[in-house]
Structure 1
Amino acid sequence: MSKRGHSAQVPAVGEAKRGERGYLGYLLRQAQVAHRQNMEHALAGTGLTLPQFSVLTMLAAYPGASGADLARLSLLTPQTVSVIVANLERSAAVARRAHAVHGRIQHLDVTPAGAQLLARCRARVNAVDAALRSGLSAQDEAVIRRWLVQVATRQITE
């Protein structure tokens, strides 16, 4: 609130600086928050949170990944991934196995039950993914994908 006791007029999503005239970084963040909310809604009732879904998805894509690998792949902290993996292991969605040569190294794998759970969740989030692509041509989608990867890999050197 301002000093006079009333708040500023805040534009709705898509208007003013929250629309096409906004800063790109802000618009990326705004879109990310909306996407996260849509994903959480799609996953409601599945037994998986969005971070658990992310870890399970990455583990299915990269079998045998370590906890540190999963943290990097899932964009989560190692501590968060450690808790998530323990919960997924407790629910029998993932299993640990010792490294063939270095017994102290632990690899993680999705179990058959975890693969079934992931498939059920994937069926729900496919609609969210389709909504992201709605109205985009294949060429537009390719340009956006390329740009997002460039944003993620570009290093500021100044």
Structure 2
Amino acid sequence: MSKTDSRDGPSLPGPGEGKRGEDGYIGYLLRQAANAYETHLSRVLGDLGVTPPQFSVMTMIAAYPGLSNADIARLAFLTPQTVGVTVANLVRAGVVSKRPHAVHGRIQQLELTDRGRELLDAAKRRVDAVETELVEGVDDAGERTLRRWLAQISSCLSNG
């Protein structure tokens, strides 16, 4: 049982303990899991020079060509400011290119460069390995149930 000591207060429960475990609020547990996932991805992608937000941005650009920064912010659950900085860094690194929208010239559409596609492929292999770890010990039916449940939460709460 791992406890984290706070300076002057009681010992704090570790992940999976007390209200941070099965007795916790589902919303808190989702946030805790998302935070652990993001922290783990930072370590896994670090030597590629890719951050989790960069991975999200590159993934959305590859999946939905021609997106604007505003589109990416909505799809990747990032702030417009974070997307702006992330895209600027990816452009500077030669991973993403911009081109004006055919109709709305002020809107810049984003595309991965060849270097960007290579980097995304390398990052995806690592993220796929993490995803495999996440469902280790879960059968196919359980994984489908988990995916359906998570998608339903997003759909239900986004429309409410």
TM-score (norm. length: structure 2): 0.88
Change (3 A) 1:102 1:137: same
1:125 to 124, 127, 144: 127
Distance 2:28 2:101 in 1: 43
Change (3 A) 1:26 1:103: closer
After the TM superposition, which segments of 4 or more aligned residues of structure 1 sit over 6 Å from their partners?
A: none
Matched, 1:148 2:150: yes
**Which stretch has the larger CA shift, 109-118 or 144-153?**
144-153
Distance 2:29 2:119 in 1: 33
> Which residue in the other structure is 1:73 paired with?
75
Secondary structure of the corresponding residue to residue 104 of structure 1: coil
Distance 2:60 2:158 in 1: 27
Q: Where does the alignment leave 5 or more consecutive residues of structure 1 unmatched?
A: none
Q: Matched residues, percent identical?
A: 50
Distance 2:14 2:71 in 1: 39
Cα RMSD (Å): 1.9
Structure with greater Cα Rg: 1
Whose RCO is larger (CA < 8 A, sep 6+)?
1
Change (3 A) 1:157 1:74: closer
2:54 to 52, 55, 62: 52
2:113 to 108, 111, 114: 111
Task: Report how far residue 157 of structure 1 moved.
Answer: 9.1
AA matched with 2:64: Y
2:17 to 8, 11, 15: 15
Deviations 1:29-74 (A, max 9, x none): 1111111111111011111111111101111111111111010111
> Which residue in the other structure is 2:3 paired with?
none
Task: Report how far residue 151 of structure 1 moved.
Answer: 1.2
Aligned residues: 154
TM-score (norm. length: structure 1): 0.89
Distance 2:66 2:151 in 1: 25
